[in-house]
Amino acid sequence: MSPAADRAPRFTIGVSLKMYFTHAQTIEWSRAVGELAERHPAVRSGLVELFVVPSFPALVPVRDALAGAPVRLGAQDLASADSGAFTGEVSGVELAEIGCTLAEIGHAERRRLFFEDDAVVAAKTAAALRNGITPLLCVGEIEQTPPAVAALEVTSQIDSALADAQAAGLTGPLLVAYEPVWAIGAPEPAASEHIVAVARAVDEHLAALPSHAGSRVIYGGSAGPGLLTDLGGDVAGLFLGRFAHDVAAVETILDEALALDEAVPA
């Protein structure tokens, strides 16, 4: 395989820890993931771009625990404003300052539990791009529908999320996490055929946005070991949750990426 400097990542694999771990567990898990990234050929070669998204209090300790490992650091949220009297919020300015290069925006749980609407998502997407942070934009249909219908809903959500950014002339790539709401927390992910069809439509939509060149779509929603293989290399990666709490599962998925690259070159 080519060295990392000679290739763009074929796959992006990330994990959000949500609020499952204690502070100590988060740091221990992150240290283990950093060690995995440093030794695994899928990451070392540049085939896979790996990222982790811990809780806010753990961001700096996790950054230090990763200690230069090839793992991007992301936040689970960010404020729409860059400074001011916003108690409890964390700005994109501060996140960029401590080394975050990703910020999760628009997750279904934020919409459902904290009443974040399209306007909030658009403001936060603009805030991320304004501060050089890649929006990890979560999109997905609420009810199970045919892929063509789901794709129309998802691309509409992407356009809505970009409204403020485009009005302000902000540019930069997106990392779109396609997470059908009906699949989040389910025993199984969406069917592979459904995922591939929707991801392909989203890829085509993103390719038509020159201000956001370099964007890609990955799949989340009960994603875990075995899914990358089932997708046959036709989706650019996975956004993992509870199925990645065991670092061995992350290693299994990196092994899958390696096997896919060897069997079906991009």
| Domain region containing 196 | 4-263
Catalytic residue ranges: 107, 179
CA 87 from centroid of its chain's CA atoms:
26
Domain count, the chain: 1
What is the dihedral sign for C-alpha 24, 61, 242, 113? Answer: positive
Structure tokens at 73: 């650091």
CA distance linking residue 220 with residue 184, whole number of Å: 8
CA 59 from centroid of its chain's CA atoms:
16
What element of type H or E holds 252? helix 247-263
CATH number at residue 174: 3.20.20.70
CA distance linking residue 226 with residue 142, whole number of Å: 24
Query: pTM of this prediction?
Result: 0.95
User: Tens-digit pLDDT profile for the chain (266 aa)?
Assistant: 334 445 689 999 999 999 999 999 999 999 999 999 999 999 999 999 999 999 999 999 999 999 989 999 999 999 999 999 999 999 999 999 999 999 999 999 999 999 999 999 999 999 999 999 999 999 999 999 999 999 999 999 999 999 999 999 999 999 999 999 999 988 889 999 999 999 999 999 999 999 999 999 999 999 999 999 999 999 999 999 999 999 999 999 999 999 999 986 66
- Please name the residue that has the structure tokens 């230090």: 64
Q: Check residue 4 and report its DSSP letter.
A: G
CA 242 from centroid of its chain's CA atoms:
14
CA distance linking residue 53 with residue 241, whole number of Å: 10
Q: State how beta strands 216-220 and 175-178 pair.
A: parallel
CA 174 from centroid of its chain's CA atoms:
9
What number of residues does the chain have?
A: 266
